[in-house]
Amino acid sequence: MKWDLFLNLAFGVYILAEIAYVVSFFLRKRKIETPVSTLLVVGLSALTLSIGFRWAEAGHPPFTSMYESVVLFAWATTTAFLLMKRRGIPSWLGAPVTGITILALGYASLLEKTIAPLLPALRSNWLTIHVISYFLAYGVLTVSFVASAILLFGSTKRTDGADSNADQRAAQWDAIGYQGVAVGFPLMTIGLLTGAVWADRTWGSYWSWDPKETWSLICWLVYALYLHVRIVRGWRGKKAAFVSFIGFLLVLFTYLGLKYLPVALKSLHRYV
């Protein structure tokens, strides 16, 4: 199956890229930047082809099973990183981001891969826009999450002892964190609202407090909170990063952890 082949190819390329990042970190070679970016672009292309072939074979958008969503997450995260890199974020941020992508693809390899026929409730054009906007949001928020994690837990002191730039670097992470949410929040909103419109078309109710729906709203509220404290109250640095850090943990829970809640068994969203 072509989609399986290209997925494995992508996986291999991502591992190469990560190795290159690690090597360059230890050897402090900056020149490795371009080849690594190229590797990431190659990896992303392979992933795109994998998704495309699977779409063709399935006859429907490949966004309906856990496996398919994890692959989409890997795709969205790489896309988000490459686009944000053009806006000027440090390219070595790709190391943790690629690490997360590799974890995702590794997790995908453990999941059920067979293409399943589409349930009647999923046969809708809303599926594509709802899922893609959400996962693009997740991808961008992942980059933002890495930035806020670095801000919260990383040391801004350099080994050469010069920390006069510490404030400047902290501000940089803070800005990247904010950029991520600024791009991701509208996407997340589109995902949330298209989900509601779709639910209305399928089940006659745009909001039924289903666990997945409710937790998506919780994530949205927390990021809305972040925007308010940052834009209006002027929160910066660790204070603001903490809010977006929590927000992403909630996103992870919404995506992967809901099935551990007892109420989730009755959720209409159970197939993903």
Partner 1 sequence: MRTKLFEHIASLFRSVKLTVVLLSLIAATCVVGTVIPQSPLAPEDGTTQISKLVASLRWCFRWHDIYRSPFFATLLVLLAMNVIVCSLKVFRRPTGRNVGWILTHASIVVILAGVLVGQLTGDSGIMKLYEGESSAIAERADGTELELGFSVTLEQFAIEYHEEPVERLLVLHGGVEQSFPMTVGRGHPLHDGSRLRIAERIPHAATHMQVADGDTGEINPAVRIVVEGNGRTSGNWVFAAEWKETRLLEGAVSVRYAWCDTDEAYADALSAAISPEKETLLVHVQGTDIVTALPVELGEAFPIDGTDYIVETVRYLPDFRKDDDIGEPYSASDEPRNPAVEVRVTEGDRSVNRWAFSRFPDFWRMHSDGKETALDLKFVRPAERVIRLVDLEGSGITLVRFNAEGAAEADLVQLGQKVELGESGWTIRIAERLVRPRFTLEATPSLDPRADPAVKVNLRRKDDAAENSLWLTPNTVGEMGQTKLLYSREFKPKQYTSDVTFVVDGRGTDRGEIKVNAPLAYRGFTFYQSSYGDDGGLFSVLQVKRDAGAPIVYIGFGLLCLGLLYVFYIKPLLAKKGNRTSGAAT
- Alpha carbon of 50 to those of 56, 120, 257: distances in Å? 10, 25, 26
- Taking the complex as a whole, the smallest distance from the CB of residue 182 to partner 1 amounts, in Å, to 5
The 8-class DSSP code of residue 138 comes to H
3-state helix vs strand vs coil in the chain, percent to 5: 80, 0, 20
State which residue, 49 or 129, has the beta carbon closest to partner 1: 129
State which residue, 162 or 232, has the beta carbon closest to partner 1: 232
State which residue, 158 or 201, has the beta carbon closest to partner 1: 201
- Taking the complex as a whole, the smallest distance from the CB of residue 19 to partner 1 amounts, in Å, to 30
Integer-rounded Cα Rg, in Å, for the chain is: 19
- Taking the complex as a whole, the smallest distance from the CB of residue 119 to partner 1 amounts, in Å, to 7
The number of beta carbons lying within 10 Å of the beta carbon of residue 101 is 29
State which residue, 19 or 221, has the beta carbon closest to partner 1: 221
Measured between alpha carbons, how far is 146 from 90 in angstroms, rounded to an integer? 12
State which residue, 149 or 224, has the beta carbon closest to partner 1: 224
- Taking the complex as a whole, the smallest distance from the CB of residue 137 to partner 1 amounts, in Å, to 12
- Taking the complex as a whole, the smallest distance from the CB of residue 114 to partner 1 amounts, in Å, to 4
State which residue, 38 or 125, has the beta carbon closest to partner 1: 125
- Taking the complex as a whole, the smallest distance from the CB of residue 183 to partner 1 amounts, in Å, to 7
State the DSSP string of 5-20: HHHHHHHHHHHHHHHH
| All residues at 6 or more sequence positions from 56 whose CB lies less than 8 Å from its CB, including other chains | none
In this structure, the dihedral spanned by the alpha carbons of residues 91, 89, 244 and 234, taken in order and rounded to 10 degrees, is 150
User: Which residues sit at the interface with partner 1, rule CB under 8 A?
Assistant: 112-114, 116-121, 123-124, 182-183, 185-186, 189-190, 193, 196-197, 200-207, 209, 211, 214-215, 217-218, 221-222, 224-225, 228-229, 232-233, 261-263
Measured between alpha carbons, how far is 34 from 30 in angstroms, rounded to an integer? 9
